[in-house]
Amino acid sequence: MLKTTERYCRLMLIGAVALLFGAFAPTASAAPSGGHGGTNGNPFCQKVTETNSGGQTGMIAASQGANMYCFGAQQNGAAKPVSTNILAPTLPANVDMANTQEDVSPAGTQAYGQSEESIAAKGLFVVGAWNDATGFFTNCGAQENKEELTGWGFSHNGGASFQDMGGLPNNLCDEGYYYDGDPSVEAYSRQGRTYFYISSLYNGFFETPSYIAMDACQVTGSGNSSLISCNNPTPVAQSSSCYDFGYGCFFYSFLDKDFLAIDQVRGRLYATYTDFGGYNVGTGGVDDIDLAVCNLNYNPAAPTCYNGSYGGFPNTSGSVYSAYFTINGPTSPVAYNGCEDEGAYPAVDPATGDVYVAYEHNWATNIFYSYCFNDPVQDVVAYIPFECLTLPAAGGTCGGNPENATSVLVTSLDAAFIPGYNRFPMNDFPRIAVSDPFNTVSIVWNDASLHPQGDILLQSWNLAVSEAWAANPVQVAAPMIVDRRGTSGAGWKFLPALRNASATGHVNVSFYSRSSGNTALTNTWAAVGVDPTSSASPANSRISNVTSDWNAVSSDIVPNFGDYTDNYVIATPTSPYTGLTLFVAWADGRLGVPNPFEAHVPTP
């Protein structure tokens, strides 16, 4: 059982808030808690570039979940009244997926911060998940699993309302293991039953392996009587390396930034993540983008996952295991050179079972380390044919590396101090989707090549030419500009979302947007029903019906917006495996605290 003193380490005071972004966001005198990784000397945490705690400098820029694990709660200012808009009748209903009344610890402490959300839907059932600051102030065994840093909600009426379910069920918290945020959600149906999978970072203290784990959840009943129940954590992936000082494995590589994609046809669930193995990013350390796989065919309520379940769970043998598949290998157009690779997202081609993985190369190291100053920032897309995704180990013709890959040059926003966004650096992580009707794989990202405050760009490749797709971009002259500044505003554009294509093959891109570069007033917009073979900017529609002033929002977590937003086209049990309803999830500050909101709209 976890020692009480170790558990309370998650709640120890840490240093004053750094002022790196002080001109752009309110500051507080102290951040009230340290994460259970950082306060125990985890070497990964000592290397993390964390810009909001006592001026610490590091070598790794990591996700919101990793910052939660390492540094705990981090305040960015007191809440003020937030101006609201008159609700326009043409805007979709906005639904708060969480409940601030649930964000109260057993001691009566109100937590401030639920953001970095993911969403998935099947029929009338919708599940959202997010990072939840309540876990900073709560011990194991709390009601509704409030000690977990990954929260979630369930809707039985198509997203019209949600029940805040608290934290993810976790039967190992009394042994020191916790869900640490960075959630991703997928939906699946089989034999008339509906399942949801919620993945997250999952860690103990540094002398134990780092995991990506998930809860498999099943819906029973219908209508108002619908219930959802989740099993306990299933390991999806675990550390692939450790440091041995003559006493066995002393500390392990850290897994970060997981995300899921599902193959509804073949019963496969894929997860991408970063494995920080060498902790020496910027100087040639190990920084893998990896792929894990789970088989849903035996029992969808208890998936069999590869790389994670070896040697029992949790792993107490001191052994480490290779990743199922490493993405940034020798065939990548950007060979790994010590400049950070991060922000991986997967997509599955339903027709073929092939998997595509997109990630950013030279994120943060392009501004922190001279070693990487001359290395172009790129968003990379790698291709793994289904024939290589054999079980239990990957093989086929790939030889452990992607079959081929390509990349786009990025004019990065990561040196920007975005007003009201309490984290530095910003990211340019690519989001990805496959469209079989249009024979494309597409990525979107925020990019400053046209405006210093960024635009949302889309690049597609032609899959009709089979494995020559990487040399056949659809938008040849320049990527599509997704945002229309005359409609969505002339200010900052950032954190786009893109998942699965609709039944007609159209893709849908949602993103944050501002009216000018001199405001923190933020709305969520979307380009709905985008033809991925076009080069023309699509129409933009506003999704949020209240504007958030992010300079007037109190948050215990950094970044307050999160690292990403999400959207999802409703899943169907048969071909084409998606429908025509788009669900959008984003962090919203209209309540004076970051909360995960949802809206849904029809898509062509």
pLDDT tens digits, residue range 181-234? 999 999 999 999 999 999 999 999 767 889 999 999 999 998 888 999 999 999
pLDDT at 397: 76
pLDDT at 488: 95
Strand 548-549 versus strand 521-530 pairing type: antiparallel
List CB contacts of 170: < 8 A, sequence separation 6 or more: 145, 148, 177, 178, 179, 232, 233
- What is the average per-residue pLDDT within 333-340? 80
Q: Rounded distance, CA 461 to CA 406, Å?
A: 10
Give the phi and the psi of residue 365 in degrees, each rounded to 5.
-65, -20
Residue 311, pLDDT > 90, answer no
List CB contacts of 462: < 8 A, sequence separation 6 or more: 439, 440, 469, 472, 473, 474
- Token output for 288: 């893998």
Asked whether the beta carbons of 443 and 458 are under 8 A apart, the reply is yes
pLDDT tens digits, residue range 506-543? 999 999 999 999 999 999 999 999 999 999 999 999 99
**Percentage of the chain lying above the pLDDT 90 cut:** 70
Residue 79, pLDDT > 90, answer no
List CB contacts of 295: < 8 A, sequence separation 6 or more: 267, 268, 303, 304, 305, 306, 391
Asked whether the beta carbons of 335 and 409 are under 8 A apart, the reply is no
Q: Rounded distance, CA 598 to CA 95, Å?
A: 5
Average pLDDT, the chain: 86
Eight-class DSSP state of 473: B
Among 445, 452, 450, CA closest to 377: 445
Give the phi and the psi of residue 268 in degrees, each rounded to 5.
-120, 145
Mean pLDDT is lowest, of 50-54, 140-144, 465-469, for 50-54
Q: What does the H/E/C string look like for 406-470? A: EEEECCCCCCCCCCCCCCCCCCCCCEEEEECCCCEEEEEEEECCCCCCCEEEEEEEEHHHHHHHH
pLDDT tens digits, residue range 258-295? 999 999 999 999 999 999 985 444 444 568 899 999 99
pLDDT at 59: 60
pLDDT at 284: 44
- What is the average per-residue pLDDT within 58-87? 57
Read off the pLDDT band of 307 (50, 70, 90): confident
Spans of all domains in the chain: 4-602
pLDDT at 318: 74
Q: Which residue has the higher pLDDT, 320 or 39?
A: 320
pLDDT at 75: 46
pLDDT at 23: 30
pLDDT at 45: 76
- What is the average per-residue pLDDT within 164-177? 95
What class is the 4-602 domain? Answer: mainly beta
Read off the pLDDT band of 246 (50, 70, 90): low
Residue with tokens 């172009």: 376
- What is the average per-residue pLDDT within 393-403? 80
Residue 69, pLDDT > 80, answer no
Read off the pLDDT band of 56 (50, 70, 90): very low
pLDDT tens digits, residue range 451-477? 999 999 999 999 999 889 999 999 999
pTM higher than the cut 0.85 = yes
pLDDT tens digits, residue range 232-243? 999 999 998 887
pLDDT at 7: 36
- Token output for 318: 């001191």
pLDDT at 319: 77
Mean pLDDT is lowest, of 56-65, 392-401, 464-473, 580-589, for 56-65
Eight-class DSSP state of 47: H
pLDDT at 82: 38
Mean pLDDT is lowest, of 212-216, 268-272, 324-328, 442-446, for 324-328
